[in-house]
Structure 1
Amino acid sequence: MASPQVLERTPSSLDDEKLHTSGSVSPEPFEDRKYSVFRSPFVQVNIVGACAFLSPGLWNSMNTLGAGGGQSPFLANAANSIVFGLMVLTCLLGSSITDRIGYRWALCLGAVGYAPYAGGLVLNKNSGASWLVYLGSVTCGLSAGLFWSVEGAIALGYPEPEKRGFYLAVWLAWRNAGQILGGAITLGLNAQGSGVGSISSVTYYVFIALQAVAPVVAILLSNPHQVTRKSRQPLQMTNHIGFFAEMREMGRLLARSEVLWLVPVSFMAQYTSPYINSWFSLYFTVRARALGAFVNACFGVLINFALGAFLDSNRLSKKIRARISFCFIMACLGGVWIWATVLQLEFIDDPPKLDWSDGTRFGRGLAMYLLFYSTYYAIQNQLYWSLSQLARHPTELLRLSSFLRGMESAGSAVGYGISAAKQLLFTVPLGINFGLWGVAFSTALMTIWRIGTSINYGVKK
């Protein structure tokens, strides 16, 4: 926790740009530094977005096809449980590692593990061997946790605070664009057949080639002290206090009540997707899954820009924006689980293989899938924006991002672990989803309801 002197003069929100002038950096704007378009927040966030497009974006594309694009979801679910289990550790260590090696190399190192994972899936498809799936899961888990923690901090910390919603949408749009491209490629290569099974090997080869480019793109990133805003305000997002001191600060952050109240909703944000991906894999044909992955990514771009515009709007107060957006998203998610329960009970008695030629039944299933992912994208955007309001200093943005991604990774690890059990009825994870939704909704309100108010989590302004 910051010193008492900092707490007395520092609000919990970073809207006050004076926060960027604390510490060892000169409080005067960098008037003598020439503004660089390349080092501007716009270009830098787009570099991070391009890396997100090539790495987690294409990874997500495979998983939104169901089971990593495979015929059976169980091997991919077991592998993903390993991925996210390791990511819990690397996400929570993300701030310490990044403080040591810098944002550029942290992003580069975080991007190297995705291609081996895709290589394992195609090897399993062609030969039945599973060793590279598990090895790729380890490399992906160790690197992706670092990528997840640093990308969010850049998207939150590099732009001006009043533009944060827009830049979050830009970053997430890049990530969704990976799914759009992946879905388009998969749809083009698999559209002729209406059968079930795995996507073609050529699809995987394209994914591997694109993911291998991501570390090269990451080298273009500028570290925070190199970024130039038009306002000439310097960024102080690193403090180089050492590994153990950084871990102590991370521990103090995680002990704050406003952060702890967000643990269930952060866990839930990723826990629910394994069920939907497995459900999609088992009940839809390959080309129907490709179509669904493509359309849902397009929806995600539109939803995130709409939500970003709302969160940046000055027509309503910050506290009203926070409450309306969060409650609306969670109410929609509750409706998704009611709809999913109705369909799941129907499919247990009569398991379908839905294709786009199946009319109304296909439309009902696809609509539920699309509505789920619409809320999935929106809740991630909402959580990042909400966490940015809790930071008492710019250096906390990386810690908060690492916290969020660590909790999301834990949710995914548990969700994929449960979904990997072949004998488990799908009504079991559905019931857990309902219970977790209720807990997450009620606890998160304890934090959401105080954003934009006169009391900043125990520190009166």
Structure 2
Amino acid sequence: MADKETNIVRTGSGSSAPDTTPHIEGVTTARPEGWLYKGIKLPGCKEIWYASPKAQLLMVSFVCFLCPGLYNALGGLGGGGQLNLTVQAKASTATYAVFAVVGFFSGSFANKLGIRITLSLGGIGYSLYSASFLCYNHTQNEGFVIFAGAFLGFCAGLLWTAQGAIMMSYPMEQSKGRYISSFWVIFNAGGVIGALIVLVQNINNDTGTVTDGTYAAFIVLMFLGAILALFLVNADKVIREDGSKVIVMREPTWQSEFYGLWECIRLSPWVVYLFPMFFASNIFYTYQQNGVNGAHFNLRARSLNSLLYWLAQILGALVYGAALDFSKVRRSVRAKAALVTLFILTFVIWGGGYAFEKDAPPRSLANTLALKIDYTDPGYIGPAFLYIFYGFYDACWQTSIYWWMGALSNSGRKTANMAGFYKGIQSAGAAVFWALDGAEVSYRILYAVTFALCAVSILIATPVIWFRIKDTTDLEEDLKFSDETLEQVAPTAVLDEKRRVLEGTV
């Protein structure tokens, strides 16, 4: 039964007490009647329906296109589009400090509230964050920017955990890499379009700060992203292309959900070896966006660099996603090849960054407009290509981590908890490095520490990638994770019924 998936669903009984009668979904299920499952066939594509993984991932991708995608375009300018980089550094510290706390429990919120509500709530903070910079243009109200950053941390924790659970648990095993890369392409298209908006609106702007119209456009588009999330369906309604359903436990108690975080560590202790990679996965933005782009380029060159950076992210996601799903090579071999390639890229790209950093002006001269590089300057091409490769590297890093986590489990609950750990620890790392930037630590120190942490974290993660990722995910291990939680809330009959499914006797 290793190729089968089981969905354990507890349904309400119509009274205040929960109905404990087990309802077992088989390996596959016929699509129900109704518009959610009415298939349409597009030219050159397979059949798709509203409650299919493809349709839902497409919608989630556009939510992220409009919210964190545009946020990335703003952040990619360095300083959130401001000449004074310190204000944005403080706001980002608040964002990721809150995110780090919320991230540990956001998997629980996602399981309790459902994907749709979690994503929509998460999108609201992005719009407020852009509004705070529009306000800062006129009032210099630093406190509002920092508050908006903290509120964004709470919202982002919800959004990214819901997104991660979808991306890792909705697809079938053989297509997870393509789903991840497709998401990354659309998501980073938000950064591309956002950077293009900034470039067009500020092509003749030499003040160092983006225009009010740029911030206003971002506010409206980000809010639309939050509204779009309300049109998603929750995980229990999604049916895959092979007729299987996502493993999900309905109506869990808060007790079982918070217990799931501890359960993830206790039953899968090897996950701690991934924590250093989680920690390092966003720290390079601080140096790249503020220490390179914001510090050494004028506004229109920063806008062009940001555009190229997010285009490189799309290319990286396409290349890595296709390689990770290359079916002619066993999955365990692909996992190891991705690890080795990422390690090599770390030294090649960040080694090239040393050639730039050792000759760059010191941080004390970062806000001197006369020293900033314009894209018409003869010395622009080399640093621009370096920045492009930084974007490519980020996409390879993020795609690899998501694919590895997806390869370690097909359980919606387990991947939601893993995604919560991922985003929480990732944000702790980002908060530390944005705080260092806000304290005006030398850019050369930021470069050196970022490079070292990326390289070392890959080495620490090697045992998990090398020995835990198999050619197919063990269903029994996934369901064992749920057994421990179910024992807190369900009678023995439910567990016995589920074990019978595993043994093939039902």
TM-score by length of 2: 0.83
Identify the residue that residue 331 of structure 2 maps to in structure 1: 318
Identify the residue that residue 431 of structure 1 maps to in structure 2: 448
Which range moved further: 128-137 or 249-258?
249-258
In structure 2, distance between residues paired with 1:191 and 1:112 = 29
In structure 1, distance between residues paired with 2:54 and 2:410 = 24
SS of structure 2 residue aligned to 1:357? coil
Identify the residue that residue 6 of structure 1 maps to in structure 2: none
Which one scores higher on RCO, CA 8 angstroms, separation ≥ 6? Answer: 1
Identify the residue that residue 377 of structure 2 maps to in structure 1: 358
Identify the residue that residue 171 of structure 1 maps to in structure 2: 183
SS of structure 1 residue aligned to 2:103? helix
Q: Answer whether contact 1:120 1:131 (CA < 8 A) is retained.
A: no
Q: By how many angstroms is 1:239 displaced? A: 4.4
Identify the residue that residue 448 of structure 1 maps to in structure 2: 465
Q: By how many angstroms is 1:229 displaced? A: 2.3
Q: Answer whether contact 2:208 2:298 (CA < 8 A) is retained.
A: yes
Name the CA shift for 1:451/1:28 in 2 (closer, same or farther; >3 Å).
closer
In structure 2, distance between residues paired with 1:240 and 1:303 = 39
CA deviation map 1:53-79 (0-9, x unaligned): 111000011011111111121110110
> Residue type of the partner of 2:391?
Y
In structure 2, distance between residues paired with 1:266 and 1:28 = 33
Q: Answer whether contact 1:157 1:237 (CA < 8 A) is retained.
A: no
Identify the residue that residue 297 of structure 2 maps to in structure 1: 284
CA RMSD, 1 decimal: 2.1
> Residue type of the partner of 2:330?
S
Identify the residue that residue 307 of structure 2 maps to in structure 1: 294
CA deviation map 1:410-431 (0-9, x unaligned): 1111111111112x21121122
Identity of aligned residues (%): 22
Identify the residue that residue 32 of structure 2 maps to in structure 1: 33
Q: By how many angstroms is 1:196 displaced? A: 5.4
Name the CA shift for 1:45/1:244 in 2 (closer, same or farther; >3 Å).
same
Identify the residue that residue 258 of structure 2 maps to in structure 1: 247
Name the CA shift for 1:345/1:391 in 2 (closer, same or farther; >3 Å).
same
Segments of 4+ moved more than 6 angstroms = 454-457
SS of structure 1 residue aligned to 2:375? coil
Whether 1:200 aligns to 2:229 is no
> Residue type of the partner of 1:377?
A
Spell out the pairing of 1:36-115 with structure 2 (5 A cutoff).
Answer: 36=38, 37-115=49-127
Any unmatched runs of 5+ in structure 2? 10-22, 39-48, 478-506
In structure 2, distance between residues paired with 1:67 and 1:295 = 18
**Which protein has the larger Cα radius of gyration, Structure 1 or Structure 2?**
2
Q: Answer whether contact 2:114 2:234 (CA < 8 A) is retained.
A: yes
In structure 1, distance between residues paired with 2:132 and 2:319 = 37
Identify the residue that residue 157 of structure 2 maps to in structure 1: 145
Identify the residue that residue 347 of structure 1 maps to in structure 2: 360
In structure 2, distance between residues paired with 1:275 and 1:456 = 37
Identify the residue that residue 394 of structure 1 maps to in structure 2: 412
In structure 1, distance between residues paired with 2:226 and 2:353 = 38
Which range moved further: 350-359 or 395-404?
350-359
> Residue type of the partner of 1:366?
A
Q: State how many pairs are aligned.
A: 441
Q: Answer whether contact 2:77 2:289 (CA < 8 A) is retained.
A: yes
In structure 1, distance between residues paired with 2:175 and 2:243 = 15
Q: By how many angstroms is 1:186 displaced? A: 0.7
> Residue type of the partner of 1:46?
L
Q: By how many angstroms is 1:333 displaced? A: 2.0
> Residue type of the partner of 1:258?
W
> Residue type of the partner of 2:124?
V
Identify the residue that residue 18 of structure 2 maps to in structure 1: none
